[in-house]
Structure formats: C-alpha cells, structure tokens
A = this chain, B = another copy of it.
Amino acid sequence: MTRLDKQIAFLNEADKLKSVLRATTLADASRAENSAEHSWHLTLYALVLADQAGPDVDIDRVIKMLILHDLVEIDAGDTPIFENVDAAEVAAKEEAAADRIFGLLPADIASALRPIWEEFEAALTPTAQFAKALDRFQPPMQNLASGGGSWRAYNVTQDTIAARVGTKIERGAPGLWAYARKRIAAFFASAS
C-alpha cells in the first residue's frame, strides 16, 4: 500500500462513524443522531461559542479534538451519558479501538493525531476541558429543542443531569452551564 492508500483506507474506515447511533435525536426529534454528524455539530459549537472559552484554550485544537473524539466508537459503540457502565471497561475498549483505527494511518500521521485524542480523553488541559464541556453541552440543547429526547428515554431527573452533565460543562465552560441549568429547570418546571 502506498502512503495515500493508507490515508484513504483510514478515511473510508472513518465513514462507519456515520452509522453509529446516539441516544440523542435531531432537534426535530425525527430520528437518532449519528456520531459523525454530532461531531460536525460540535465543531460548529466550538466556532460559535469560542467566546465562552477561558484564555488558555486553543480553539483550533478544540476543533481537532472534536473531529477525532468519537472515532473509537466505530469499534466501541456510543456510551449513552445516562447509562450505568463500567468506565474502566469502556476505556479499555476505546484504547483498543484507537490502536486499530489510528493504526491504519501512516505512522507519522498517527503520531500527530492520536495525542490529540488522548489529550481530549484525559481532560487535564483547559483545551480538552472546553472540548469536553461542548460534548456535554450539545445533548441538552438537542433535548430542549426536541421536547425531552434522551431525558424522557432514560427518565432522568435534574439532579442526575447536573451530576452526569453539569459538572463537566461547568469545569470547562461555566457560562454555558449557568445558561443550560436555567433552561433545564424551566423545561422540567413546565413538563411536570
């Protein structure tokens, strides 16, 4: 295989992310969202909500993280936020997936891209924490638009949302959690 053959083999494999379905629906509730279009939507969130990032956040790198962040789901599947899972088991599956999928690339490109995904997963830098915040912030925006979405499907309470979603949004983008919390409270008040 030539260098370009390997690059295209990786890009063809990545196409499978368009068939990985998430618990969240489209804003019009017509169908489940897939992880590829979700990833695109998040890159647009990063462009449009860059003013919510702290001074140490590198938005260009946030966007790269969001492009790559769900590729491992091709092998490991999507883990719905409100499902109770063995986090260590999911992490091990995702590491194995990263080995296989980034392993399709020429070694120099894999060495450039995999650390971006690892940084996102570790969530220790302001850049990764902002990217994670957006990844947690978009599903409630979809649920508010669709009239409940995965909150209804998983029958969750505001406390569960605050614990599973709110803490990570607040850590990376406190202004977005202040906004989401208020809208979520209003939604639950009108739905009860």
Contacts and interface: CB of A to CB of B under 8 A. Distances in A.
Contact of A43 (B12, B40, B49, B142): B40
Nearest to A60: B60
A11 B64 contact: no
Interface residues of A, number: 45
Interface string A1-25: 0001001101110111111000000
Given A15-B26, A18-B33, A26-B19, A67 B49 contact: no
When all copies of this chain in the complex are counted, the total is: 2
A30 interface: yes
Contact of A67 (B7, B34, B43): B43
A161 interface: no
Interface string A139-169: 0011001000000000000000000000000
A109 interface: yes
- The residue in A18, A37, A40, A45 that gathers the most chain B C-beta atoms within 10 A of its C-beta is A40
Contact of A36 (B17, B41, B105): B41
A63 interface: yes
Contacts of A109: 48, 51
Interface in A24-56: 26-28, 30, 33-34, 36-37, 39-41, 43-45, 47-49, 51
Contact of A63 (B16, B45, B67, B175): B67
A188 to B, nearest CB: 18
